[in-house]
Amino acid sequence: MKATTMLALAGTAIAADMPSITMKGSKFFYPNGTQFFMKGVAYQREYTGGSHSTRATGSSKQYTDPLSDKKTCERDIPLLAELGTNTIRTYAIDPDANHDDCMKLLQQHNIYVVSDLSEPQTSINRDQPAWNLHLYERYTKVIDAMSKYPNVIGFFAGNEVSNNATNTPASAYVKAAVRDSKAYIKKNSKRWMGVGYAANDDKAIRAEMADYFNCGNSDESIDFWGYNIYSWCGTNTMKGSGYSDQVDFFKDYNVPVFFAEYGCNEPSGAEGRIFQETEALYSKEMTDVFSGGIVYMFHQEANDYGLVKIDGDKASKMKNFGALKKQVLKADPKGVSQNDYKPSGKARSCPAIGKAWKAASGLPPSPDKDLCDCMMKSLECTIDSDLDEKSYGELFGNICAHNNPACAGIAAKPELGNYGAYGMCKPDQQLAYVLDSYYKKNGKTAKACAWKGAKLQSASSVSGECQKRIDAAEKTNKDVASATSAISPSKTGSGDKDNAAIRGAPATGLAIGAAALAGAVFAL
């Protein structure tokens, strides 16, 4: 994918540059070598219609970009500064909007940004996970939109996608998003910006989650780990809240760890919060390991976690606003200088596959528009241009039932780390591939392309590099029919088009069906 002009201008600020944050080992640093600790607040109104990590695709935008309205930012950013905030987290920004005014105001108040890359309708769905061109285009557009601002620390590739032991396969797709987002930044940006993940605090998988996203090649692993934790409620202690256990667990982690969300509202709701945990978070007992945290959340909503009530254009500070302000302003964490700091942490080992964990180290392939386009040119049986997307699921289900080898190219088996070559293409391209594969495996008879919504066409001439890459992908897809264990990485071409992430998938238990593929379409 080509970098946009915006990303090419990364590092050119719209105002006097704030010093950009960098990372060394498990710490964040200012350019002068002083350690940076987040004193953060989550800054975004709640999504309409529910959790963004389980939303299906709809037709209307279900979020409001918090950094695209100058008037709103002029009202809210001084309040954030009053709290002692030096970092905000945004959950969904519109990459087509103009953020100059709000980002300038944030710079004027010395506030950094960490932003999620997804949005409610374009995110990795824990129930029907995918990592494909549609998602990749969204993620890279957000990177393009935000990279020119020096006060952007980095991005989250996912938020609580795998949130219990039943949906851990989805983490493979998020880690693939981490890998490809990091590669995009490395190729196109002039400065470091991190890509991390924000996890919930589920006892059954929290260790496996932290290990999985940190294990393996550094090009694939997270740059920082965000932890959404609400275990310290009211008056508590390091031991009683479990904070001491977290310090012990992460003490040898090799990338920065911080609370991506915190601020329990039990037992008395938002107004009962005293933020005793904030004092603990910036104490010596925690700052050797944790790099601060982000309080959830600025806006008072139905979930009752707010610091500020919004009534029309008016913002009113709540009681717990003062409680947080008191704790943050007195917090004075003592860090280490960058020159004196000698990182000692090591990457974790990948978790074993078992009852509680079903995502292997092998990842889904990187989205590759050129390969998908090459494949589409080679098809003799394809989808009719009039076919409604709502019909995709039925067609997928009819053809791919009973582990049909025609579907091997889009199959997935996360517990083995095996994936077909074309699972990263857009849904219409995947369906076209399946139709053509079925047609060719059934003798190219007219009946084999007689599905409702399918049509015969004359394949375009494909040669050279394009054919070479299709042949390599087909070799991978042939392995799908017989593999019963992890398959060694293969390549779909040469040079910059290499895709070593593509792997085969076993014929038994292909993760394809009417519900899964329909979900993949509508979760984009």
Q: 274 and 410 in one domain?
A: no
Q: Is 337 inside any structural domain?
A: no
Residue 96, CB-side half-sphere exposure with 13 Å CA sphere = 4
Q: 110 and 196 in one domain?
A: yes
Q: 302 and 426 in one domain?
A: no
Q: Which of the four pLDDT bands, split at 50, 70 and 90, describes residue 440? A: very high
Strand partners, 122: 119
Q: 379 and 278 in one domain?
A: no
Q: What is the CATH number of the domain that holds 162?
A: 3.20.20.80
Verify whether residue 261 is a known catalytic residue. yes
Q: Is 343 inside any structural domain?
A: no
The percentage of residues in the chain with a pLDDT greater than 70, rounded to a whole number, is 87
Q: Is 46 inside any structural domain?
A: yes
Amino acid at 319: K
pTM above 0.85, yes or no: yes
Report, as an integer, the average pLDDT of 129-142.
Answer: 97
The pLDDT score that the predictor gives to residue 54 is 33
Closest to 363 (Cα-Cα) out of 518, 210, 221, 195: 221
Q: What is the CATH number of the domain that holds 511?
A: 1.20.58.1040
Segment holding 100, helix H or strand E: helix 100-108
Q: Which residue has the higher pLDDT, 53 or 418?
A: 418
Q: Is 350 inside any structural domain?
A: no
Q: 63 and 126 in one domain?
A: yes
**Catalytic residue (choose from 208, 261, 415, 474):** 261
**Catalytic residue (choose from 119, 160, 208, 415):** 160
For residues 342 and 483, is the Cβ–Cβ distance under 8 A?
A: no
Q: Is 38 inside any structural domain?
A: yes
Phi then psi for 455, rounded to 5 degrees?
A: -150, 150
Domain boundary at 330, 349, 384, which? Answer: 330
The pLDDT score that the predictor gives to residue 60 is 57
Residue 95, CB-side half-sphere exposure with 13 Å CA sphere = 21
Q: Is 514 inside any structural domain?
A: yes
What would the pLDDT profile of 243-292 be if each residue is shown by its tens digit? 999 999 999 999 999 999 999 999 999 999 999 999 999 999 999 999 99
Cα–Cα distance for residue pair 118/157, rounded to 1 Å: 7
Q: 398 and 317 in one domain?
A: no
Verify whether residue 465 is a known catalytic residue. no
The pLDDT score that the predictor gives to residue 483 is 66
Q: 31 and 136 in one domain?
A: yes
Integer-rounded Cα radius of gyration of the chain: 24
> Does pLDDT of 479 surpass 90?
no
Q: 384 and 294 in one domain?
A: no
CA 5 to chain centre: 23
The percentage of residues in the chain with a pLDDT greater than 90, rounded to a whole number, is 80
The helix/strand/coil state of 476 is helix
Q: 174 and 26 in one domain?
A: yes
Closest to 80 (Cα-Cα) out of 274, 308, 281: 308
The pLDDT score that the predictor gives to residue 289 is 98
What would the pLDDT profile of 147-181 be if each residue is shown by its tens digit? 999 999 999 999 999 999 999 999 999 999 999 99
Domain count, the chain: 2
Q: 383 and 259 in one domain?
A: no
Q: 391 and 308 in one domain?
A: no
> Does pLDDT of 75 surpass 90?
yes
Q: 265 and 201 in one domain?
A: yes
Domain around 162? 5-330
Sign for the pseudo-dihedral over CA of 266, 270, 274, 276: positive
What would the pLDDT profile of 12-55 be if each residue is shown by its tens digit? 444 458 999 999 999 999 999 999 999 999 999 987 644 333 33
